[in-house]
């Protein structure tokens, strides 16, 4: 049965979206054990990697989300006392965000468990060349970003 390239392109796109949906749902179930959403985890994780405080606009760029969305996510994380915010003295428009000790402790607890979940998820899957697989994903992402830029100015996100 002959399949042309375009058939595969379309199937790959649909499958990519579907797999991501399923993985997101899977991680949602996992993080709910800690009373967190995946988006909340992503913020904590990013703050953990960046020892220094980050501004909200930096968070929004790294997480590919609109800056107005960060406001609400941080409000809920602040309520849970996992992060703190304080005005930036150098640039009075900006807010600096940091993990609290409580937030740091939580991330330290979750990370190894999450890596383990990911390992269990992938361990039986045969990927001939993982680095090539990763590279293709990177290329698809780059291509999508380029094409988006031609459609619309992405000012708000970057």
Query: Residues near 80 by Cβ (< 8 Å), separated by ≥ 6?
Result: 35
Contact pattern from residue 63 through residue 82 relative to a second copy, giving x for each residue in contact according to CB under 8 A and a dash for the rest: -x------------------
Is residue 107 at the binding interface for DNA, with CB under 7 A as the rule? no
CA atoms of 15 and 115, how far apart (whole Å): 24
Contact residue for a second copy among 68, 105, 108, 143 (CB under 8 A): 143
52 vs 131, beta carbon nearer a second copy: 131
Residue 97 — φ and ψ, nearest 5°? Answer: -120, 135
Contact residue for DNA among 50, 65, 100, 111 (CB under 7 A): 65
84 vs 118, beta carbon nearer a second copy: 118
Q: How many residues does this entry show for the chain?
A: 158
The candidate with the shortest Cα–Cα distance to 16, out of 131, 137, 147, is: 137
Site stretch for a second copy (CB under 8 A), options 52-60, 69-77, 86-94, 120-128? 120-128
Q: Is 152 helix (H, G, I), strand (E, B) or coil?
A: coil
CB-count exposure of residue 73 (10 Å: 0-12, 13-18, 19+): buried
Residues that bind a second copy (CB under 8 A): 3, 5-6, 8-13, 15-26, 29-30, 64, 115, 117-128, 130-134, 136-141, 143-145, 147-148, 151-152
């Amino acid at each position: 049965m002959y399949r042309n390239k375009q058939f595969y392109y379309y199937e790959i796109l649909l499958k990519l979206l579907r797999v991501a949906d399923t993985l997101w749902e899977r991680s949602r179930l996992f993080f709910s054990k800690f009373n967190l959403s995946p988006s909340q985890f992503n913020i904590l994780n990013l703050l953990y990697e960046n020892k220094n405080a980050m501004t909200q606009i930096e968070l929004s760029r790294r997480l590919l989300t609109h800056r107005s969305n960060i406001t609400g996510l941080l409000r809920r994380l602040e309520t849970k006392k996992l992060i703190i915010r304080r005005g930036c003295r150098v640039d009075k428009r900006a807010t600096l965000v940091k993990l609290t000790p409580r937030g740091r402790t939580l991330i330290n607890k979750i990370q190894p468990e999450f890596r383990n979940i990911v390992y269990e998820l992938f361990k039986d899957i045969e990927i001939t060349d993982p680095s090539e697989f990763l590279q293709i994903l990177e290329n698809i992402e780059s291509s999508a970003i380029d094409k988006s830029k031609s459609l619309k100015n992405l000012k708000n996100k970057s």
